[in-house]
Structure 1
Amino acid sequence: MTKFVQWLVFLGALVVLVGVYFLSQYQIDRFANRSLPVREVPEIRPEVSVKTVEPATHQSRISAFGATEPHYTINLTTQVAGQVEQISPQFETGYRLKKGEQMLRLENSDYRAAVAAAKQQLAEARLAYLQEERQGLQAQAEWLASGLEGDPDSELVLRVPQLASAEASVANAEALLTSAENDLQQSLIKAPFDALVISREVSPGSYLQTGTQVATLYSTDWVEVKVSLSDREWQSLPDANILTTGDWPVTLQAVEGSATWQGKVLRIEQHLDGTTRQRSLIVGVDKPLDQQPAIYPGVFVEVSLAGRQMDNLWQVPTTSLSQRGEIWYVTAENILAKFPISPVFSDENYIYIRLPQQLADFPQQILLQPISSYVEGMAVAPIEIENHE
């Protein structure tokens, strides 16, 4: 009886334990499979700086660089031989000469003697011509007095060849006198134009052969700058007949320093440079050494001139142009998008571009400083920047 009770108690305890186990497992499974509350995480959009732009009319402006050059450069040489007898005090480097101003004089006694001999020869030729002319008239009178009809058998009768020879002698003597006077004049070496002396190659007492270099001179009437322009830049400028009137404003600014000068368009070259494959515009500044400050040959300058008024352009800060030559903008849904561009022209702070047709109807928000990590379709939070330079 006692064993029966013991087994009964054991079985009861076992059932209770099994029940407790399954109840606990049920509670564990129920807890594990319970529905958890979902926590909503707000979407984070990166902020981007934007500027609203819209199409407008802008005047193009072209800038290019070049060095100033004199209008004329000459290595002056002698036309006759002789010893340097006198040099002008103004004939020194850095001095200015007026056109026709004497620079030096060669010893010219031989040339003066040649002029005197040529004058004598001319006087004798003229005398011979007058004598022959009188003899010809006398021969004609004698022929008429002879009563013979018709013309004489030979022109020698009326002394026609003799008169022609005398006339040719006069012409030859005149030419010799002109040549001798020219040689005498060339012994006085003068400035061929208003000039700046760059170098002097002779000294008093030097003997110069014909063709010896005497000096290097730069003209002082104007300096000019040759600037090469691309096809796109030429399309931004007005017609050549407008540019070359002399009234189209051109500004030159020294690269080193802050000096500026007002110039004008002198001419337009009508050929492509063999190296750059571009056409050139020539601008100039009148009386360069009289400017304040003076503009000297050899100064490196930036040339700036206004172009045509152009419609339907965006004025975009230069910082908005990505390294790949693209403009990023924010759509109406605050999504990033981009498009490639080719600037029409540019200035120090802005580039001016033709806008895509699909963006032409409404103002657009463009990114001021796009970075390489941006991707199309990215959601962003645009922040408008009013004044951006």
Structure 2
Amino acid sequence: MRFLRQSLTGLMLLAVTLVVLVYAGVLVRDAVQDRMNASPQVPPQRERVFTVNVQTAVPRSVTPILTAFGEVQSLRTLELRAAASGTVIMLSDNFEEGARVEKGEVLLRIDPDNAQSALDRAESDLADAHAEQREAARALELARDELAAAQEQAALRERAFQRQKDLESRGVGTAAAVETAELAASSARQAVLTRRQALSQAEARVERAETALARARIVRDEARRRLNDTVMHAEFDGSLNEVNVVEGGLVSTNERLAELVDDTALEVALRVSTAQYARLLDDEGRLRPLPVTVTLSVMGVDLEATGVLKRDSAAVGEGQSGRLIFARLDRARGFKPGDFVTVRVSEPEIDNVVRLPATALAADGTVLVLGDDDRLAPLAVTLVRRQGDDVLLRGDGLAGREVVRERSPLLGEGIKVRPLRQDDQGADAAPALLDLSEERRARLVAYVEGDGSMTEAVKSTILDRLQQPRVPAQMVERLESRMGG
């Protein structure tokens, strides 16, 4: 009985367990189905607001600046070549690389002995030609006198002949006397012809003497020029470059000795694109005389000079593009031919344009402006000109609107933003300045004064800056980096 009771109890417990498990499975299934069939519940989200920099679009007149790079060159560059051959017997103290010379200054002398001997011979030949001319003139005068005497004698003989004929016709004279008188008259006429021939020869001699005299003068002048060519003078004020001669050296005719450069008459040559060139022309297609500013950065100091556009190239060089234009510089202190400089050309003024950062303009030609409730809206604009990192724009409805300065892929139409406003007329940050101690200032001054790689103009400019109470930090950094090197 006890075994039976325990068996029944176990069966009952097993049945209850199975029922509980089935009931639990049904509950899980119903819960999963309810969960899958129920609609998702999304929690409420806040709208994302972006912070953007905005600028008020204010139309104004802007003078665009065309920036290009060019090379400084001299308007007058003269190659000094030897006009005579020989030994250099004298060189000017200023005939050296970089030395400055004045107009008319004697630069060098070549041994003049050969040229002087040629001049002496030419002058001697000229003296002989003068003597020959005088002798020919005297011979001509004598020939004329002899011709006159022969003509008088011929006239007398002719009258004697006529008188004998008259006597014969009256029966007083004889035929022999007439014949004798006729022969004498004929001889006298022959003598006149001989004297005329002598006069013609005397005149020809005079002409030959004049020709020989002119030829002797030419030879004398050529010899004098050759003698003058042994002395070289400076044709204008300037500096010497590429000096290639020493005293005592032997030079040949047309040998290149040096180059004379006028470093006060400078111009800059710059190449621009055809589109940029077209903007520099007036209504008649001529280059406008626009002002330019030339900048050369040296040791943190910018050397600047002003000028004006003068001319453009006549043709496009082989393998080149665009246009080559030239600007004449005014008082280009510190500049030298060959300097590579930055050139800024002030173009004609453009009216009614808005200047914005280039990051405000999209590729599709639109900008984002603030609308109602600080939401963004696109606005179509026209790109007039690019100016470095800025653009000049025009557009209907752009004036007075607040424009996003920096666009990003997260910004678009309808996006709510928090604008950060700033003055669009703000000036660029001023260059950093330093207060130097007297010891540091003296060390920099000593380095600049002893540096042989700087020109005197650059040294003067840097020393003037170093004497100021506050000195540009960039210049100090460059000087100290070179001192450390």
Alpha-carbon contact 2:57-2:398 (below 8 Å) kept? no
Q: Residue 61 of structure 1: which of 65, 75, 79 is its match?
A: 65
Specify whether residues 113 and 331 from structure 1 end up closer, same or farther in structure 2 by C-alpha distance, changes over 3 A only. same
Change (3 A) 1:272 1:36: closer
Provide the secondary structure at the position in 2 that maps to 1:305. strand
Q: Which residue of 2 aligns with 1:368?
A: 405
Q: Is the 8 A contact 1:68 1:299 kept in 2?
A: yes
Distance 1:37 1:106, change over 3 A: closer
Q: Is the 8 A contact 2:294 2:341 kept in 1?
A: yes
The answer on 1:181 being equivalent to 2:181 is: no
Structure 1 residue corresponding to 2:348, chosen from 308, 316, 322:
308
Alignment of 1:37-116 (within 5 A): 43-116=47-120
Letter in 2 for 1:280: L
The one-letter code of the counterpart of 1:109 is D
Structure 2 unaligned segments of length 5 or more: list them: 1-30, 156-188, 190-194, 429-485
CA distance in 2, matches of 1:57, 1:109: 73
Q: Does the 8 Å CA contact 1:254/1:302 hold for their aligned counterparts?
A: yes
Question: What are the Cα deviations for residues 281-302 of structure 1, in whole angstroms up to 9, with x where unaligned?
Answer: 21233565xx3xx222232221
Please name the residue that 1:13 is paired with.
none
Residue 34 of structure 1 and its aligned partner are, at CA, apart by 11
| Residues 155, 161 of structure 1: 8 Å contact kept | no
Aligned residues: 347
Give structure 1 stretches of 5+ with no counterpart: 1-27
Partner of 2:166: none
**2:208 pairs with one of 165, 184, 187:** 165
Instruction: Give a deviation string over 1:51-86, Cα, whole Å, max 9, x none.
Output: 221433222222221222222334422121111111
Structure 1 residue 227, shift from structure 2 partner: 0.9
C-alpha displacement at 1:95, in angstroms?
1.0
Do structure 1's residue 344 and structure 2's residue 385 form an aligned pair? yes
Cα distance 1:331–1:182, how it changes in 2: closer, same or farther (>3 A)? Answer: same
Amino acid paired to 1:120: S
2:269 and 2:357 mapped to 1: Cα distance?
29
Query: What do you get for the CA RMSD once the two structures are aligned?
Result: 4.0
CA contact (8 A) 2:287 2:312 kept: no
2:360 corresponds, among 320, 329, 333, to 320
Aligned AA for 1:53?
A
Provide the rounded CA distance (Å) in 2 between the counterparts of 1:182 and 1:75.
20
CA distance in 2, matches of 1:309, 1:40: 55
User: How many angstroms does 1:378 deviate by?
Assistant: 4.8
Find the counterpart in structure 1 of residue 422 from structure 2: 386
User: In structure 2, what residue type is equivalent to 1:264?
Assistant: V
Candidates 191, 194, 215, aligned match of 2:234:
191
Q: Which of 253, 273, 296 is matched with 1:254 structurally?
A: 296
Residue 369 of structure 2 corresponds to which residue in structure 1? Answer: 330
Q: Secondary structure at the match of 1:93?
A: coil
Q: Note if contact 1:86-1:105 (Cα within 8 Å) is conserved in structure 2.
A: yes
1:336 and 1:375 in contact (8 A); partners too: no
More relative contact order, 1 or 2 (CA 8 Å, 6+ apart) = 1
Structure 1 position 213, deviation (Å): 2.5
Q: Is 1:212 aligned with 2:255?
A: yes
The 8 Å contact of residues 263 and 337 in structure 2, kept in 1 or not, is answered as no
Seen in structure 2, the aligned counterparts of structure 1 residues 104 and 270 have a Cα distance that, compared at 3 Å, is same
**Largest Rg, 1 or 2:** 2
1:269 aligns with 2:313: yes
Evaluate the alpha carbon distance shift between residue 250 and residue 135 of structure 1 in structure 2; reply closer, same or farther with a 3 A threshold.
Answer: farther
Q: Percent identity?
A: 21
How do 1:119-158 residues align onto structure 2 when only pairs under 5 Å count?
Answer: 119-133=123-137, 135-136=139-140, 146=151, 157=200
Query: Superposition pairs for residues 12-23 of structure 1, below 5 Å?
Result: none
Cα distance change on mapping 1:119 and 1:129 into 2, 3 Å: same
Residue 340 (structure 2) pairs with residue 283 (structure 1): no
State the distance in 2 between where 1:176 and 1:369 align.
Answer: 83
SS at 2:240's partner residue? Answer: strand
1:139, 1:124 → 2: CA distance? 22
Q: For residues 15-61 of structure 1, give each alpha carbon's deviation from its aligned partner in whole angstroms, at most 9, with x where no partner exists.
A: xxxxxxxxxxxxx999x999999986554453432222143322222
1:234 corresponds to: 277
Moved more, 269-278 or 60-69: 269-278
**Distance in 1, Cα, partners of 2:331 & 2:132:** 55
Q: 1:274 to 1:370 in 2, by over 3 A?
A: farther
Per-residue CA deviation, residues 351-379 of structure 1 (Å, 9 max, x unaligned), is 324x24xx2574443321112x2575453
**Cα separation, 2, equivalents of 1:57 and 1:71:** 36
In structure 1, how many angstroms separate the alpha carbons of the residues matched to 2:228 and 2:116? Answer: 10
State the distance in 2 between where 1:99 and 1:83 align.
24
In 1, distance between residues paired with 2:242 and 2:222? Answer: 30
Q: Is it true that 1:298 corresponds to 2:338 in the alignment?
A: yes
Structure having the higher strand fraction is 1
d(CA) in 2 for partners of 1:60 and 1:362?
Answer: 20
| Counterpart contact for 1:60–1:309, Cα < 8 Å | yes
Q: TM-score, normalised by structure 1?
A: 0.73
CA deviation digits over 1:114-142, x for unaligned, max 9? 11211222232233334435555665676
AA of the residue aligned to 1:237: L
Q: TM-score, normalised by structure 2?
A: 0.60
In structure 2, C-alpha distance between the alignment counterparts of 1:164 and 1:374, rounded to whole Å? 104
Secondary structure of the corresponding residue to residue 330 of structure 1: strand
Q: Which amino acid aligns with 1:255?
A: S
